[in-house]
Amino acid sequence: MSSNSLARLQHLERWMSIFFTLLAAVWSSLVIIMVLKRQLDTNLLGYGSLWVVGILVLWFSWWRASKRLSTEQIINERETLILQLNRANAELQRFAEISAHHLQEPTRRIAAYTKRLRQHMHGTTLDDETTLTITYIEEGAEQLRAIVRDIQLYLAASEPRGEIQPLDLCQLVNKIQHEKSHLLSACNATITCHSTIPLFLDAGRAKDIFSILIDNAVRYQRENIPPIISIRSYQEKTALRIEVSDNGRGIPQEYHQRVLRVFEKLQHADREGTGVGLAIVRRIVESCGGRIWLDSQHAHGITVYLELPNRKPK
């Protein structure tokens, strides 16, 4: 039922209520007048009272039926709107996924052909402007590829990529550390993990969370100071709390919420970051019913807090 039909139904209900109320009031007034004038017939009083009671029962039945009908129509309208909203969200999600997928190939070609161009012109004397132009094209293509990749991760972050099972957090961190050994050794980074409580999450998204946080700690390290990354967990009442701390540049308090949104970067951030990493982490955590927040003393590192359910979802 449309909103106009519902409004007409409610309007009719009000008028019916007024009619029955006035009818009962008129009868009551007549009875009172006749009593005062001592002209009231006993039979008339009895039949009239039954009539009034009948009218009130009919009115009450009408009121209950109209209320029930109104409630059902409101529920139906709400369910229809929810279905339309879910359908629109699904279509938008699908469109974004397809767009991100198709953008990967053009960016890959730009990077590949720019590399071939540089190799082809190897040994040729190039002026500074030409060399700088080729460098900018290469950097731009790699940046675009990274953005498209992170958009794909963000879009997929709310859905499990495998079975949700108890994971050994330190074992997961050791695996990531092994995969990033070249990056970590280049900056003499140190990672420590202290956790004996299982993390209930699918392995794919769990790896994304800690890969992103470790990458950020390395990317935003302080100059000439090797990154020190500490990961620990402890049990809350109904959740697992994880702390990921580093000794990097830190983030000012006023940016703590902002950097958790998509494409938000600090002014001093370099060009390597996409501004999507922490948004991916937030989307994963919140899709599991958890929460994320930051604590930082500017220029003295940052701690990312994750709070996740400590049980497998039903």
Is there a single domain that holds both residue 208 and residue 280? yes
Is there a single domain that holds both residue 107 and residue 6? yes
Q: Which residues contact 150 (CB under 8 A, 6 or more apart)?
A: 274, 276, 277, 280
Residue range 225-246: mean pLDDT, rounded: 92
Number of structural domains (the chain) is 2
Q: Mapping DSSP to helix (H, G, I), strand (E, B) and coil, where does residue 145 land? A: helix
Residue range 141-158: mean pLDDT, rounded: 85
- The residue among 94, 123, 156 that closes a domain is 156
How does residue 312 score in pLDDT terms, banded at 50, 70 and 90?
A: low
- Residue 25 included in any domain: yes
Strand bridging mode 239-246 / 165-167? unpaired
Is there a single domain that holds both residue 185 and residue 143? no
Is there a single domain that holds both residue 140 and residue 174? no
Evaluate if residue 271 carries a pLDDT over 70. no
- Residue 314 included in any domain: no
249: DSSP letter: S
Residue 190 φ/ψ, nearest 5 degrees: -120, 130
Nearest to 227 by CA among 250, 209, 248, 212: 248
- Kindly report the CATH number assigned to the domain that includes residue 178: 3.30.565.10
- The residue among 136, 156, 176 that closes a domain is 156
Q: Count how many Cα atoms sit within 13 Å of the Cα of residue 9 in the half-sphere of its side chain.
A: 18
Q: Mapping DSSP to helix (H, G, I), strand (E, B) and coil, where does residue 271 land? A: coil
Q: Mind listing the pLDDT tens digit for each residue in 99-133?
A: 777 777 888 888 888 888 888 877 777 778 888 88
Q: How many residues does the chain have?
A: 314
Evaluate if residue 140 carries a pLDDT over 60. yes
**Alpha helix positions (H), 180-247:** 181-186, 203-219
Is there a single domain that holds both residue 37 and residue 62? yes
Residue 20's pLDDT is what?
Answer: 61
Q: Mapping DSSP to helix (H, G, I), strand (E, B) and coil, where does residue 208 land? A: helix
Strand bridging mode 291-296 / 190-194? unpaired
Residue 302 φ/ψ, nearest 5 degrees: -145, 150
How does residue 34 score in pLDDT terms, banded at 50, 70 and 90?
A: low
Give me the domain span that covers residue 128: 1-156
